[in-house]
Structure 1
Amino acid sequence: MTEPLRVLPNESATTCRYGTADDFAIEEFFDGIVTVLGGAANVVMQLALQPVAYGVMESDVDSGRADLHPWKRLRTTLTYLSVALMGDEADKADYRAEVNRVHRSIRSTAGSPVKYNAFDPQLQKWVAACLYWGVIDLKEKMHGPLDEATADVFYRYASSLGTTLQMRPEMWPATRAEFDEYWRAGLERHEIDAATVAYFDHLIDLRMLARPLRLAAPIHRFIVTGLLPPHVREQLGMTWTDRDEQRFLRLFRMIGSAQRRLPQPARLFPMNTLLWDMRRRRRRNMPLV
């Protein structure tokens, strides 16, 4: 089963070797592969909140829909992560403006089952929480538990996953303990309806890809299932055994071992490449999203 976040009521007395939240050495800390391996599972967790789900499923921005343009959607999402975690303030401001432009029309209609607005900071807070949780969960599966000082500092640093859009800084839970309460409560109150389950199955089984690429669907479903919190698995009717868990953890320990041997540019890929590409697009006045 997925381990819960470890929390402390107070700051750790030890020192984070990656710096403070203001000068955190994200390039030394981050593994770019987590964004690829964890992408689909993270989308499932984000869309477990119905207003987020229907904002995506009913979006009139066809170019950003994963079921219609999967590679463009993947590039846009991973570029956002690279900007939020590795970009400077100018990068964040420019990408925020571009995302705001495409989000402007994404709001519920009279026929929508739930009300939503892509500019709602509470919805963006949930998306940011999913992204943060996914990074930490995969980091620890690959490399083992973080020390408390590093966990505390990265948690504060990771608020940029929400503040790069409309989430106000004060909305990010003040401590990891408060985040853990917010996270658990969020998972427990979410109900995934049939339409969302069908969308998830389409995504998890790679039905939006060309037929040869769908051969990877079984391993993709295995990874997605292993990365989901048990509560979400249950709602999706997924089965997961102790043997599955053992195989899954062995796989990620092997991936982590390989990652530790890579030089930093290779370890950061594709995030470093996507940040470079965003800056190149900006210089050439090309669309960023």
Structure 2
Amino acid sequence: MTRSIQPVPSTPGAEPTDRRRFIAGPGALLGGPANVIMQLSLAPVGRGVVESTVASGRFDLRPQKRGRTTLTYLAVAMLGTEEERVAYREATDTSHRQVRSQPGAEVRYNAFDPKLQLWVAGCIYLGTADSFRLLYGEQTEEFSDALYRESARFGTTLQMPAELWPADRAAFTAYWESMLPQLSIDEGVRRYLLDQVVDLGPYSRVQQLLGKHVNRFFTTGYLPQWFRDELGLDWGPRRQRAFELIMRGLGFVIQRLPEPWPQYPLDKHLADMRRRIAAGKPLV
């Protein structure tokens, strides 16, 4: 049974109250690590993260801060005002200016590269669409098209020009398939993803004991098979069935929660950003 979501006539200028229909906060939490793996599987993105000299923004050094920054970015992109997106883009630019490869580097990258931002935005869109399918079942074509159009904000909230976003879902599928042969995970990125992202390396021993196996289960469940194979993550039909049942059970509960709980914790991070703007505090 599909979730009883009424499609909305959506455009890139849709009101935030409409875009709330495209947000599943628990999906962002559970699927986030898998999405990071997909993003970093494009070598320039992977090397840019692993080699970053911006210590305050590194997940392996400041996991809570990195998590807050990422969730705030997602919330601002989909639920914020145009003025808030401009403010957050400017704050992010400060960190991104320092993320670029050194002369002579084997893998060249620049965090301002709009094509790399397109890849990151595309991964986030796919993760969002997967979350809706796993939590609530298949959606209508109209809803899926509206979600896709709104997801361009994941790129345009940074420096990706709107015209770079593929025109429709069919064009996006063609783009995605053209990118798959370009993916590669070198040993340094692989170790970073397994140790830090999958096994919660930056967290305390107690937090790892409590959350590592749960995180590995949901992360592996969200990943397409190619990424599982690349990282050596074990999976099979029984785990897939268990994963789908758990996700559908979560969706059953979430869709019965009153607003704004289905968007938690994204709504919390958006409110925190607004308090920071009012107080003149740094946003990232």
Report the equivalent of 2:170.
177
Residue in 2 aligned with 1:117?
110
Q: What TM-score comes out, normalization by structure 2 length?
A: 0.94
Letter matched to residue 115 of structure 2:
Q
Residue 96 of structure 1 and its aligned partner are, at CA, apart by 0.3
**3-state SS of 1:106 partner:** coil
TM-superposed deviation, 1:28: 3.1
CA distance in 1, matches of 2:38, 2:22: 24
CA distance in structure 1 between the aligned counterparts of 2:248 and 2:151, rounded to whole angstroms? 24
Asked if the contact 1:27/1:264 (under 8 Å) is kept, the reply is: no
Residue in 1 aligned with 2:268? 273
Mapped to 1, the partners of 2:159 and 2:51 lie a distance apart of 21
Aligned amino acid, residue 254 of structure 2 = Q
Match of residue 70, structure 1, among 47, 60, 63: 63
1:19 maps to: 9
Q: Deviations for 1:49-70, whole angstroms, at most 9, x for unmatched residues?
A: 0100111111111010000000
Aligned to 1:60, which of 14, 39, 53? 53
Specify the SS of the correspondent of 1:264: coil
Aligned to 2:240: 245
Letter in 2 for 1:78: L
Partner of 1:91: 84
In the TM superposition, residue 16 of structure 1 has moved relative to its aligned partner by 6.1
Shift of 1:170: 0.7
Percent identical: 43
Report the more deviating stretch, 172-181 or 21-30: 21-30
Superposed CA deviations along residues 82-128 of structure 1, whole A, max 9, x for unmatched, are 00011110010000000001111110013533000010000000000
Q: Give the conservation status (yes or no) of the 8 Å contact 1:16–1:149.
A: no
Q: How is 1:157-172 mapped onto 2 (pairs within 5 angstroms)?
A: 157-172=150-165
Alpha-carbon RMSD across the aligned residues, in angstroms, is: 1.4
Check whether the contact 2:23–2:263 (CA below 8 A) recurs between aligned residues. Answer: yes
Structure 1 residue 126 and structure 2 residue 124: aligned?
Answer: no
Give 2:180's aligned residue. 187
Q: Does 1:41 align with 2:31?
A: no
1:51 equivalent among 22, 44, 65: 44
Give the TM-score, by structure 1 length.
0.92
In structure 1, list runs of 5 or more residues that go unmatched.
Answer: 1-14
Task: Please state how far the C-alpha of 1:185 moved relative to its aligned partner.
Answer: 2.4
Query: Are 1:16 and 1:153, in contact at CA under 8 Å, matched by a contact in 2?
Result: no
How many pairs were matched up?
275
Whether contact under 8 Å (2:96, 2:112) holds in the other structure is yes
Q: Which residue number in structure 2 is paired with residue 218 of structure 1?
A: 213
2:161 and 2:103 map into 1 onto residues whose CA distance is 29
Is 1:287 the equivalent of 2:282?
A: yes
Report the more deviating stretch, 240-249 or 110-119.
110-119
* Structure 2: segments with no counterpart, 5+ residues: none
Please state how far the C-alpha of 1:150 moved relative to its aligned partner.
Answer: 0.7
Aligned twin of 2:140: 147
